[in-house]
Amino acid sequence: MTKSVFAYRNGVLCVEAIPLSEIVEEVDTPFYCTSAKQLQRNYRAYATPFEGLDATVHYAVKANANLAVIRVLANCGAGADITSAGELERALEGGVVPEKIVFSGVGKTRDDIAAALLAGICQINAESLSELALIEKVATVLGKTAPVSLRVNPDVDARTHAKMATGHKGVKFGIDIDQLGDALKIILSSSVMVFKGLTVHVGAHLKDYGPFREGYEKLAMLVRLLRDQGVPVERVDLGGGVGIPYDGQVLPPFSDYAAIVHDVIAPLNFAISFEPGRRLVGDASVLVTRIVHIKKAGDKKILIVDAGMNDLVRPAMYGARHEIIALRDDGKALREKVSIVGPVCETSDSFGDQFELPSLQSGDMMAIMQAGAYGSSMSSTYNGRALIPEVLVSGAQHAVIRRRIAVAEQMGWESVPDWMVITRAA
């Protein structure tokens, strides 16, 4: 990973040129803070090893769908990998050109497919025979030609969290290799579909690059077989999945992954697509939170903070552990081990145990690090909580890129039928 823009200056945690505590004074806690510089650095670090190849980096919008984040990456040259018509709208509004948009996902609806065809995107990554039939119907009705890539399931053990593995047999993603022939017949016999190539996605947050090599070698073998049979293959889509180091983890250098691509895929000499999400945005954001209460429970000291699992669900959903540091820390204070939990009424609303921090008091603030991927994009209003703000920093500038959406406004999205009798207790 690139050097972080989140660093202490005189004991105060800053993002680029701004102390995070200054942003707190404007927006209050909790909130997400994203660095434009870190997004730009991460894009360059990903794209540079593939210069000289016909390669396009399609940012996986699901990781962080904020328009400003998309715009920063689009300005760097990124395309977009989307999973719904809603993400298509966001990608276009964020400045991504249709020719750089690929559409993934197993459950594309008639409306999703129609929106993609009308926008003129680069390709639809089809994941089932049923989906191919629907693409053909929609394209026929619209009088459009559908560019289709087949996502194949390489049956590879990704050796990642079970909820992030997508390339082994029996999962919902991709077309099994033994169905590839049937899928190709449907496309090649269609007057409204054009075969673009093959797509593979082994899994998310891979910390071991061996599964990439295994999956890509299977993909290369399939491409050679198709070429031998006279089937033209314009591009391969290699998906995403390269992990980032959370809470002090040590991962192989990205150059090791790039070497696999150069060794296995580049010799085939066709266009290559990548779909990174976490790798571009994961370490570009922090979640700033404030201690509300401190309590003892058995031998534990527990810090209860104002950010919860509704704001950052990864620890509850995946057992993930993020580094957590104080906004003020001169490095001289004695450390103590604490548990950090949120206010949501669920036992799983915990960010973890055994964090070593300086002695803190109620009202002190902390930053939950590496929170840019699947943080704000997976947040909810569970327990009647607000959707928290997002702030973008660039140098000495900052702006709120999503305001706090309080419960009163959320209730405005709802209605009570006029035939219901509303009574209030006296």
In the 8-state DSSP scheme, what is residue 2? P
The amino acid that residue 395 corresponds to is: G
How far apart are alpha carbons 233 and 217 in whole angstroms? 16
Any residues with CB less than 8 A from the CB of 202 and at least 6 apart, and which? 154, 156, 158, 165, 166, 167, 211, 212, 215, 239, 241
Task: Kindly report the length of the chain.
Answer: 426
Q: What is the DSSP letter of 100?
A: G
Task: Please name the residue that has the structure tokens 């004074």.
Answer: 25
Contact 154, 241 (CB under 8 A): no
Give the position of tokens 């993609």: 116
Q: From the CB of residue 182, how many other CB atoms can be counted at a distance below 10 Å?
A: 11
Between strands 123-126 and 101-103, the pairing is parallel
The CA-CA-CA angle for residues 351, 357, 360, to 5°, reads: 95
Nearest to 35 by CA among 385, 370, 404: 370
* DSSP at 4: P
Burial class (CB in 10 A: 0-12, 13-18, 19+), 123: buried
Closest C-alpha among 18, 17, 34 to residue 390: 34
E strands, 200-261, are 235-237
CA-based max dimension of the chain: 81
Kindly list the catalytic residues: 345
Backbone angles phi, psi at 414, to 5 degrees: -115, 170
